[in-house]
């Protein structure tokens, strides 16, 4: 078998990559092209080929994380700007060779450890049997709704009377009192300055700019994923006050990044986002919509289910492994997403 380490997804074809990685939009060939062209992450790929065919792969990038007051540098094996696994291995032999490549990247980048992140339960059970010396962690839940509904009213009927009344009140209030207008568009570049500004408010609030999408990102997204990426904006008297980005396939809708003007927070656009997103996904006959981690209490009220996410971690210095054994410590930084 041939092991190749590269800095670009273009080392393989789109067809062979998605034969291995599947159709999840966060780990698609075009998503990685978008990340590379935007410069948002310094990407690395470990590719394992046999007779010229791609048999296994891992996608990763260096990232600084803070454990309490100590800043540490990791090689993160996960979808860049996403919450999906990017360690694709069928056998322990494949995994061993992928780990060899990952360790080479770790040493070259002078990183203190390797994190394999955002594994669903079945993925976690598979990968942990294939790699050695990794510690196991539960890092939080993502959320989703299965959309077995004829229309939005059918969705509402699946909820309690109290919850239906609350949703209808929020929708009517946003439309009549605040005069909010939802706009779905795949003209991503047209709205890039607006989206950058609105997300900036949230980054400032959290004092974390690592996931602040650049204008270059939106340009690259439109070039590569215009048919799958969409912005939902809310306008008040033609003033954009809120946005959220979604990635779509015929089967799923995945809501990822958002931004909101704090001067209009009382307009409740944040809550309206969920209802309009669900309405649109039902109209498209998509089967599931994902809303990511955090705000679990509210999401459960609107019918979201929770799915656990796991991580595997290994430090270069065995003594540093002790610092990662506290669940509260590792979850404090691995679970920070918005």
Q: What string of pLDDT tens digits covers the 338 residues of the chain?
A: 899 999 999 999 999 999 999 989 999 999 999 999 999 999 999 999 999 999 999 999 999 877 667 788 999 999 999 999 999 999 999 999 999 999 999 999 999 999 999 999 999 999 999 999 899 888 889 999 999 999 999 999 999 999 999 999 999 988 888 999 999 999 999 999 999 999 999 999 999 999 999 999 999 999 999 999 999 999 999 999 999 999 999 999 999 999 999 999 999 999 999 999 999 999 999 999 999 998 999 999 999 999 999 999 998 876 666 666 654 445 544 544 33
pTM: 0.92
250 and 330 in a single domain? The answer is: no
- CA nearest neighbour of 312 among 142, 77, 90: 77
Say what the alpha-carbon torsion angle 325, 326, 329, 331 is, to the nearest 10 degrees: 90
pLDDT at position 174 is: 86
Q: Does a structural domain hold residue 276?
A: yes
pLDDT at position 140 is: 82
Q: Does a structural domain hold residue 154?
A: yes
* Tally of CB atoms within 10 A around 1: 11
Q: Does a structural domain hold residue 294?
A: no
pLDDT at position 326 is: 56
What is the C-alpha separation between 88 and 54, in angstroms, rounded? 11
**Angle subtended at Cα 307 by Cα 182 and Cα 298, rounded to the nearest 5 degrees:** 45
229 and 321 in a single domain? The answer is: no
Residues in the chain: 338
52 and 6 in a single domain? The answer is: yes
pLDDT at position 337 is: 39
CATH of the domain at 130: 3.40.630.30
Q: Does a structural domain hold residue 303?
A: no
- CA nearest neighbour of 315 among 42, 82, 67: 67
pLDDT at position 68 is: 65
Contact 95, 130 (CB under 8 A): yes
Phi-psi region at 249: left, alpha or beta (left = phi > 0; alpha = psi -120 to 50): beta
85 and 120 in a single domain? The answer is: yes
Contact 115, 76 (CB under 8 A): yes
- CA nearest neighbour of 281 among 249, 307, 258: 249
- CA nearest neighbour of 70 among 310, 332, 278: 332
Q: Does a structural domain hold residue 134?
A: yes
Q: Does a structural domain hold residue 302?
A: no
Dihedral of alpha carbons 122, 126, 129, 135, sign: negative
Which residue range(s) make up the domain with 20?
2-140+309-334
pLDDT at position 66 is: 72
- 228-274, pLDDT tens digit by residue? 999 999 999 999 999 999 999 999 999 999 999 999 999 999 999 99
Q: Does a structural domain hold residue 299?
A: no
What is the C-alpha separation between 61 and 38, in angstroms, rounded? 14
105 and 215 in a single domain? The answer is: no
Axis crossing angle, helix 192-206 with helix 215-225, rounded to the nearest 10:
130
162 and 240 in a single domain? The answer is: yes
Q: Does a structural domain hold residue 295?
A: no
Strand partners, 230: 246
Residue 112: partners with Cβ closer than 8 Å, 6 or more residues away = 72, 73, 74, 315, 316, 317, 320
60 and 158 in a single domain? The answer is: no
**Environment class of 17 (CB within 10 Å of its CB; exposed 0-12, middle 13-18, buried 19+):** buried
267 and 323 in a single domain? The answer is: no
**Environment class of 12 (CB within 10 Å of its CB; exposed 0-12, middle 13-18, buried 19+):** buried
Number of domains into which the chain is organized: 2
Alpha helices in the chain (DSSP H): 14-21, 29-38, 92-109, 121-130, 152-157, 161-172, 192-206, 215-225, 269-283, 296-301, 318-321, 327-334
Measure CA of the first residue to CA of the last residue in the chain; give whole Å.
Answer: 40
153 and 259 in a single domain? The answer is: yes
């Amino acid at each position: 078998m041939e092991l190749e380490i590269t800095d670009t997804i273009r080392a393989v074809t789109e067809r062979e990559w998605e034969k291995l990685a599947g159709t999840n939009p966060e780990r698609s060939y075009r998503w990685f092209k978008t990340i590379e062209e935007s410069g948002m992450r310094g990407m690395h790929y470990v590719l394992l080929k046999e007779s010229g065919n791609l048999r296994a792969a891992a996608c990763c990038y260096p990232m600084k994380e803070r454990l309490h007051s100590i800043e540490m540098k990791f090689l993160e094996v996960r979808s860049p700007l996403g919450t999906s696994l990017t360690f694709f291995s069928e056998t322990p032999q494949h995994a061993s060779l992928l780990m060899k490549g990952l360790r080479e990247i770790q040493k070259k980048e002078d990183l203190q450890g390797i994190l394999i992140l955002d594994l669903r339960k079945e993925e976690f059970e598979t990968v942990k049997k294939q790699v050695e010396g990794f510690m196991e962690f539960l890092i939080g839940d993502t959320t989703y709704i299965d959309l077995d509904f004829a229309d939005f009213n059918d969705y509402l009927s699946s909820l309690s009377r109290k919850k239906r009344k609350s949703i209808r009140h929020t929708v009517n209030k946003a439309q009549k009192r605040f005069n909010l207008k939802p706009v779905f568009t795949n003209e991503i570049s047209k709205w890039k300055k607006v989206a950058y500004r609105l997300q900036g408010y949230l980054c400032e609030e959290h004092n974390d700019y690592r996931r602040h999408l650049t204008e270059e990102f939106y340009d690259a997204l439109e070039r590569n994923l215009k048919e799958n990426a969409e912005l939902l904006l809310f306008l008040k008297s033609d003033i954009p006050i809120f946005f959220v980005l979604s990635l779509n396939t015929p089967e799923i809708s995945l809501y990822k990044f958002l931004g909101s003007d704090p001067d209009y927070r009382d307009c409740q656009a944040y809550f309206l986002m969920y209802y309009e997103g669900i309405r649109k996904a039902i109209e498209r006959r998509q089967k599931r919509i994902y809303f990511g981690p955090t705000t679990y209490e509210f999401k459960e009220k609107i019918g979201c289910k929770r799915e656990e996410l796991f991580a595997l971690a290994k430090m270069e210095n065995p003594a540093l492994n002790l610092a990662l054994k506290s669940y509260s410590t590792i979850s404090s930084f691995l679970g920070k997403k918005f």
